[in-house]
Structure 1
Amino acid sequence: MIRFDKVVKRYGDNTVLRELDFHVRPGERVTLIGPSGSGKTTILRLLMTLEKVSGGLIEVDGECLTHIRRGDKRVPADEKHIRPIRRKIGMVFQQFNLFPNMNVLRNITEAPVRALGRPRAEAEAKARELLDMVGLADKALEHPSRLSGGQQQRVAIARALAMEPEILLLDEVTSALDPELVTGVQDLLRDIASSSDLTILCVTHEMGFARDISHRVLMFDQGQIVEDGPPEKIFSDPAEQRTRDFLQAVIQT
């Protein structure tokens, strides 16, 4: 469902991803762990086309996201090519990114109406179903400023799901929350993961959450994969010393 082929990402002289190769199968839930600055969030931003690759290719569902063929050459993809591929991907951001001037219902329905062409009544009915699922059925007409951080993140999750994505990207979705709100959001995502066939790519520093939600865990360091395996292996008996050092430091803190 997702394939990175020798992907390089540079910011000036700083190389963040170094010929990165990895894949995620349809319906697979993969979590990226590793120190801050190792390139994890950059991977998600490349998939959302918020950043452009410096080298290599990215494929989504068998289609090249980053490039198109023009004659016998491969050139960077234009927006017309990217847009239908990107619609397969939903992302939940660390900082919620809700529109403060719109109520909850409008935050969820705006993209389906504008990007997918859904009739507003249909989009609102779906939004209300999703709000009920995330436990916020009574908050449809509230504005984000009147919601707690945990409630705002639940709205952001509902908004991502309203686009009916095949791939869901989760970027440190609980790191901006007060500690007492983290469990509720994580429990919701566990339920979504276990009850759907979504392909999920998750970045988190919450190791318990990573263990619970993942089919596979990738340990990142300095823009490369250090270790790749099932969570029971990565968290209980990692093969690489770098993984052991990272987990020891995270669990102690």
Structure 2
Amino acid sequence: MSPPYSCAPWSDALSVEISNVTKKFGGQTVLDGLDLKVKAGDHVTLIGPSGSGKTTILRMLMTLTEPDSGTIAVDGRQLFPASERERREVRRNIGMVFQQFNLFPHMTVLRNITEAPVTVLGQSREEAEERARELLDLVGLADKCDAKPARLSGGQQQRVAIARALAMRPRVLLLDEVTSALDPELVAGVLDVLRDVARSTDITLLCVTHEMNFARDISDEVLMFDAGRIVESGPPEKIFNEPEQERTREFLGAVL
């Protein structure tokens, strides 16, 4: 049995490549000629004010939003531009945990985690359930297999959502403000689970968060966004301790 966090080996050293991507909503430019490269296995955190384009990047990687121009590739395979069939193939290697938990309320916790591996990946029900139980143990919910989501706290539901994303063995895991919908006392438990994922996995992580201590702990690189552009990037110790750009200093001064 392979470890619950393991994924298929990478075919290339570059995980995500975004080249000259522009996106507008109405008259507002959300991404302005963005260039971004993420190495396989790196943990990259996107910080910056609301509306600066961070979540739009994650939505594009999930093919929920299309760029107006530019190219996006994952694991050396084109995501945009590409046919819908090609996008589906690439998207199978990408998982996302959203702000809202989006669990199926009529399914048990176990079924929420096993449904996609069975229907999308073609795993047997037995194989999918064995892996789901391993993942539930890892996120501290081994005793909740038969519970329905409504019987869980918000923090527990988000941990199920993390296990569900990992069950697909993604090469890239996207985290979009995963604690923003939680009560403050539940945030620490979810962040601890994600720290374990970051330490134990070879998955590439792209994380949008306002939890700066979490970003400092898990990141190989931090990207500061403003007005659809990356205004500064570097390792967390540089960004948080010695930022070069005034805009970065202003933002951190407001959130730390």
Q: How many Å apart are 1:169 and its aligned residue?
A: 0.4
1:212-231 mapped onto 2 (5 Å cutoff): 212-231=217-236
1:134-149 mapped onto 2 (5 Å cutoff): 134-149=139-154
Name the SS for the 1:65 alignment partner: strand
Give the structure 1 partner of residue 6 of structure 2: none
Q: 1:192-221 CA distances to partner (integer Å, 9 max, x unpaired)?
A: 111111100000001000000100000000
1:74-153 mapped onto 2 (5 Å cutoff): 77-153=82-158
Q: 1:30-81 CA distances to partner (integer Å, 9 max, x unpaired)?
A: 00000001010000000000011111000101111012xxxxxxxxx22211
Q: Distance in 2 between matches of 1:6 and 1:196?
A: 30
Q: Distance in 1 between matches of 2:207 and 2:137?
A: 24
Q: Distance in 2 between matches of 1:195 and 1:232?
A: 22
1:18-97 mapped onto 2 (5 Å cutoff): 18-67=32-81, 77-97=82-102
Unaligned runs of 5+ in 2: 1-14
Aligned Cα root-mean-square deviation (Å): 0.6
Name the SS for the 2:147 alignment partner: coil
Q: Distance in 2 between matches of 1:120 and 1:51?
A: 32
Unaligned runs of 5+ in 1: 68-76
**Identity score, percent:** 68
Give the structure 2 partner of residue 232 of structure 1: 237
Length-normalised TM-score, structure 2: 0.93
Number of residue pairs matched by the alignment: 242
Give the structure 1 partner of residue 20 of structure 2: 6
Q: 1:159-215 CA distances to partner (integer Å, 9 max, x unpaired)?
A: 000000011100001111111111111111111111111100000001000000100
Residue type at the aligned position of 2:215:
A
Name the SS for the 2:213 alignment partner: helix
